[in-house]
Amino acid sequence: MISFFEWFFELQKGLHQRLFSWLPLSLGDLIYVLLGITLLYSLIGLFKKKNRNSSIIRTLIIVNIFYFTYQIFWGMLYFQTPIIKKLSSQEAPEIEKAKKLALRYLEKCRVTRQSVHEDHHGIFIVTDLKSVQQEILNQQAKLPPYISDKKATNILSIKHSLFKNVMSYTGILGYYNPFTAEAQYNSELPATFVPFTTAHESSHQLGFAREQEANFVGYLMGVHSNNLDLRYSTEYFTLKSLLRFIVDEDPEFVKSVIKNYSPAMKRDRAYERNFILRHQGWLDDFFGFTNNLFLKSNQQEGSVTYSYFIDLLLNYEK
């Protein structure tokens, strides 16, 4: 049954991307707005005795159609064979191996950072986002066949979300819309986030549903890229992920690595931290809680634990 849904996704993803990629704005976002208005109208009807029964029926019908369509187009892909089972080695991640890899990616970041552009404050900027997006499409077709047998459509359907202001306060960097096959990203993010977030969401477009597998496929796209913006964003994400994995076991090691960031990397890190601090609040907590429930209900560890990406990374590197 899962194989059937994988086949169906391959069939419909190209069709969806062709239908909606030409639109300059996100149709998926507009669908969510209309859905929200419709549900709000139905919920208001619950308080009116005259229309209560019809409002209840209408609400249930909308929710069921929405959920059924979601499962058909996307939800069943969470049950695919995990990527970790496709790797020859399946050892549990070890702190010492993660430390060695962190030092390697520290050096990679220091070198790549010297070749990218920055603004007048010395903060990393992406000068040509279209070329980054096109490079991601090119890299989709170069994924190792033992990891991905999914077909790249070579259709550019990556768009900035209409909800960018809200997303900045929720901690959501981007998302994939299963109803229109659009990859959305928050254009207000610091530039260090944007290329890798785009690669991550394009991994969902390919058909990788699990969040940390999308991170790993995005990593494969970015780390071997000749596009320096994409490569730096990917290397920097990988370094941060390794440090988050190590910090509870050896916080002093993490401090020493951060201390050895290049001056340019330290400026990028400070800008990221300021952005996050400016946008923290109850919305961030609420969406973190709901996202945690969503991930756990779809065969994933939850939003707090990201060790599966490190597990994939260390096994792949070996």
Residue 88 counted as domain residue: yes
Q: Measured on CA atoms in the order 276, 279, 282, 284, is the torsion positive or negative?
A: negative
Indicate whether 301 pLDDT > 70: no
Residue 256 counted as domain residue: yes
Residue 31 counted as domain residue: no
CA distance 280 to 287: 11
pLDDT in tens, 237-293: 999 999 999 998 999 999 999 999 999 999 999 999 999 888 776 444 544 544 444
Dmax (CA) of the chain: 69
The domain total for the chain is 1
Segment 82-87 long-range contacts (CB within 8 Å, at least 24 positions apart): 82/210, 82/213, 83/147, 83/208, 83/213, 83/216, 83/217, 83/312, 84/308, 84/311, 84/312, 84/315, 86/146, 86/147, 87/147, 87/312, 87/315, 87/316
Residues 6+ apart with CB under 8 A from 283: 166, 169, 170
CA distance 168 to 171: 6
Angle between helices 52-73 and 27-45 (to 10 degrees): 150
pLDDT attached to residue 286: 40
Q: Write down the mean pLDDT value for the chain.
A: 87
Q: Which of 90-94, 135-139, 150-154 has the lowest mean pLDDT?
A: 90-94
Q: Which residue has the tokens 């069921």?
A: 64
pLDDT in tens, 141-187: 999 998 988 998 899 999 999 888 888 888 889 999 999 999 999 99
CA 38 to chain centre: 28
State phi, psi for 191 to the nearest 5 degrees.
-60, -25
Indicate whether 138 pLDDT > 80: yes
Residue 117 counted as domain residue: yes
Residue 252 counted as domain residue: yes
Neighbours of 93 (CB within 10 A): 18
DSSP 8-class letter at 280: -
Measure the CA angle with vertex 28, ends 132 and 288; round to 5°: 80
The verdict on pTM exceeding 0.75 is yes
Indicate whether 43 pLDDT > 80: no
Residue 1 counted as domain residue: no
Residue 29 counted as domain residue: no
The strands making up 158-160's β-sheet, listed across from edge to edge, are: 158-160, 182-185, 174-177
Q: Closest Cα to residue 169, out of 37, 279, 12?
A: 279
Residue 227 counted as domain residue: yes
CA distance 113 to 124: 8
CA distance 135 to 130: 8
Task: Give the three-class secondary structure for 316.
Answer: helix
Indicate whether 70 pLDDT > 80: yes
Whether 42 contacts 62, CB under 8 Å = yes
Query: For residue 62, what pLDDT band results from cuts at 50, 70 and 90?
Result: confident
Domain that holds residue 101: 78-317
